[in-house]
Amino acid sequence: MLIIRPIRASDYEALYSIAVESGHGFTSLPVNEELLRSKIARAEASFTKQVDKPFDEGYLMVLEDTTTEEVVGTCGIEAAVGMVDAFYHYRLGTEVYHSQQIAVRNEVETLTLCHDYTGAAEVCTLFLKSAYRKGNNGRMLSRSRFLLLAQHPQRFGETVIAEMRGVSDEHGESPFYEWLQQHFLGIDFVEADYLSGLGKKAFMAEMMPRNPVYVCMLPKKAQKVIGEVHKNTKPALRLLQSEGFRFRNYVDIFDGGPTVECRLSDIKSVKRSRLLTVQIGKIHHADHQYIISNTKLADYRATSARLSVSADHDNVVLSPELASGLLVEEGQQIRVLEL
């Protein structure tokens, strides 16, 4: 059985392996022991913390194959970004230049450094090992986060965002970043991305252009990738778009990848998920696949399975094995979402 659960200290080696496999551009998991151990400790604290309103909590989870006891994936949610460390984006805008005297009117796209998403929740750190990228595993891992958002909305910002990986080559070099390196930062993309992942962001405020940047003055290859996603990220973007996430003209300051957003209460899976009461027994005539989670936090568990769910009843039968994997007992509630 594949079970999603909160990460714990004993998962460090597995998380390090995932960080290595994820490669360049996956800034939320730099290959750095101190940072990864810190992320795990922060997640452990967040899952047990009493929260009145979201601040700087981070909910990092892993996907475990209970047959082999191997951690094969990860996913996470940031409760409210930018509350401690600055959270930068470029906002795409338009400036209009018009002269009646010479009868000329021009509209020019601009990039302006901003912190507009401060306080938003972020779905992030989604990675599945290659051997498990089959069936509905990736979809289950990604959408399981929406069940957590649906069950505990008070712990997260009202707007939910996702930063999509921008275009880069096989060496991790970004065509968007080249102009920034040449004229402002002076360090390569991989190093800048790595420092950002470590939380060492002071250099951004010190070295990034302070005034709006005219897109038309960038190299053509940089212009071309603004708002475009890495080829490996397109399936993840399509999934989020199907949930109601939309691009609102915000892009990553290093690779130009798009950030998409949706109000938490408007996310399709949040709205469509249901609370059902558990009965334990033999499952009959289960025609549909569901993502299933318990309603707990520190002991959060999620998986997918075939269930028989009726629109007319609020009860659902789970097998003893499935109930045990989800840490639920007869009479308790689970949250389900048709997959």
Q: What are the CA-CA distances from residue 308 to residues 174, 278, 289, 331 (Å)?
A: 48, 12, 9, 17
The dihedrals phi and psi of 283, each to the nearest 5 degrees, come to -85, 125
Of 191, 179, 188, 170, give the one whose Cα is nearest residue 221.
179
> Distance (Å, rounded) from C-alpha 309 to C-alpha 122?
31
Domain identity same for 242 and 284: no
| Cα 35 → chain centroid | 18
- Render each residue's pLDDT in the chain as its tens digit; 339 residues: 999 999 999 999 999 999 888 865 566 788 888 889 999 999 999 999 999 899 999 999 999 999 999 999 999 999 999 998 888 899 999 989 898 888 889 999 999 999 999 999 999 999 999 899 998 999 999 999 999 999 999 999 999 999 998 888 777 778 888 888 888 887 777 777 767 766 666 677 677 787 899 999 899 999 999 999 988 889 889 999 999 999 999 999 888 999 999 999 999 999 999 999 999 998 877 778 999 999 999 999 999 999 988 888 899 999 999 999 999 999 999 999 998
- Split into its structural domains, the chain has a count of 2
Decide: residue 36, CB within 10 A, 0-12 exposed, 13-18 middle, 19+ buried.
buried
Strands 288-294 and 333-338, sheet pairing: antiparallel
> How many CA atoms lie less than 13 Å away from 21 in the CB half-sphere?
16
pTM of the model: 0.90
> Distance (Å, rounded) from C-alpha 7 to C-alpha 16?
13
The dihedrals phi and psi of 282, each to the nearest 5 degrees, come to -90, 130
pLDDT at residue 99, rounded to an integer? 86
Q: Which of 231, 252, 269 is the last residue of a domain?
A: 269
Domain identity same for 309 and 295: yes
Q: Is residue 100 part of a domain?
A: no
Would residue 230 show up in a list of annotated catalytic residues for this protein?
yes
CATH number of the domain to which 175 belongs = 3.40.630.30
Q: Is residue 318 part of a domain?
A: yes
Domain identity same for 184 and 287: no
Q: Which of 115, 183, 230, 288 is catalytic?
A: 230
pLDDT at residue 282, rounded to an integer? 87
Residues of the domain holding 43:
2-89+115-269
pLDDT at residue 25, rounded to an integer? 54
Q: Which of 235, 269, 303 is the last residue of a domain?
A: 269
> Distance (Å, rounded) from C-alpha 167 to C-alpha 149?
29
DSSP 8-state class, residue 28: T
pLDDT at residue 215, rounded to an integer? 94
Domain identity same for 130 and 186: yes
> Distance (Å, rounded) from C-alpha 271 to C-alpha 269?
5
Task: Count CB-CB contacts under 10 A for residue 332.
Answer: 15
Listing DSSP states for 225-248 in one string gives: TTT---GGGHHHHHHHHHTT-EEE
pLDDT at residue 205, rounded to an integer? 67
pLDDT at residue 189, rounded to an integer? 73
